[in-house]
Amino acid sequence: MTRTVPDVNTVALAVTDGMLHFELSLAYEVFGTDLTHLVDPWYSVVVCGTGAVRVGRFLLEPDHGLDRLRDADTVIVPGWADVDEDPPADLVDAVRAAHEAGARVVSLCTGAFVLAAAGLLDGRRATTHWAHTGALAVRHPRVEVDPDVLYVDNGSVLTSAGKAAAMDLCLHLVRLDHGSAIANTVARRLVVPPHRDGGQAQFVTTPVPAPDNHPLAELLPWVVERLDRPLTVEDLARRARMSSRNLGRHFRSVTGTTPLQWLLTQRIRHAQELLETTDDSVESIATATGMGTATTLRRHFNRTVGVPPDTYRRTFRARTLPLGPAKTPGGPDGSGQHRRRHP
């Protein structure tokens, strides 16, 4: 199926009775707010369902029927409240048909149960709210359920964990489509982190640490201001006034990864923003991000992002705001994968 130009940026929200209003509202806020001053054209959002539906305590009148999902570039299924019941057959059929027509299909929170019922998660890794990962695995044994991640990107099918992780995935979609600098700008407007490290396991039994309420609260900002320096684990441990072993334990608890992997991720993100917002050479960016040489930067960048730095720059440079030179190391976030159609 060949899509028309207006449909390339269309995000369709698939709704039915019992959808969770938080996830639905969140998706509409990210994609439905007019941000053509950032990117023109921005997304065009349509709400699709079968007649008036109840979302939380509100009644919502969709713009279109579920058949409209087939024409959208991206279909988002918000969280679905009654996971003990099978999702409506017409919704399941419409989501499956949209995917077959080439749409990128996304679930937020328990919307994964709809995607699983449509067979879109068979043989794929997926996630949902941690409280329901067990039920998803039991009801759909062909799905590889991962309870320890914020979201899973399978290319044409993406799933998120619960609540705040839905925002993580929505920003990830913006990052895929328009680059990390635009995603960062959207995140700043929403006053949320552009990208969170780690998985949802850290949120199962303990609250999310407040910015100033965990052992690395002072260390992390100190590091991102010094990404051009050859920092080691010992340097970080000394700055944090703890042993390297304790540092590693705290990093796992707060970020979900090791100190070196976290540091590498910050360097790559800083490189992404410099590639998008400056004319600096790859050699200069390698120095500014603490990679040392262009060869080292290219190797890590290609392995992490999936494309070489020059290809990344060509893909996102024209779409990025004229922000001028990046002033804050560690500012860029995201995978930086280039835009792709979804067969």
Secondary element (H or E) of residue 296: helix 294-305
**Could you tell me the fold of the domain covering 202-319?**
Arc Repressor Mutant, subunit A (1.10.10)
Q: Which of 109, 136, 164, 169 is catalytic?
A: 109
Burial class from Cβ neighbours inside 10 Å (0-12, 13-18, 19+) for residue 114 reads: buried
**pTM of this prediction?**
0.65
CATH number of 5-178: 3.40.50.880
List the domain boundaries for the chain.
5-178, 202-319
Active-site annotation holds for 48:
no
User: pLDDT truncated to tens, each residue of the chain (343 aa)?
Assistant: 444 434 458 999 999 888 888 899 999 999 999 999 988 899 999 999 988 887 777 788 898 999 999 999 999 999 888 888 999 999 999 999 999 999 999 999 999 999 999 999 999 999 999 889 999 999 999 999 998 788 999 999 999 998 889 999 999 999 889 888 888 889 888 878 766 655 554 343 333 444 556 888 889 989 999 999 999 999 999 999 999 999 999 888 787 788 998 899 899 989 988 998 899 999 999 999 999 999 999 999 988 877 889 988 887 765 544 433 333 333 333 333 323 333 3
CA dist 219 and 342 (Å) reads 41
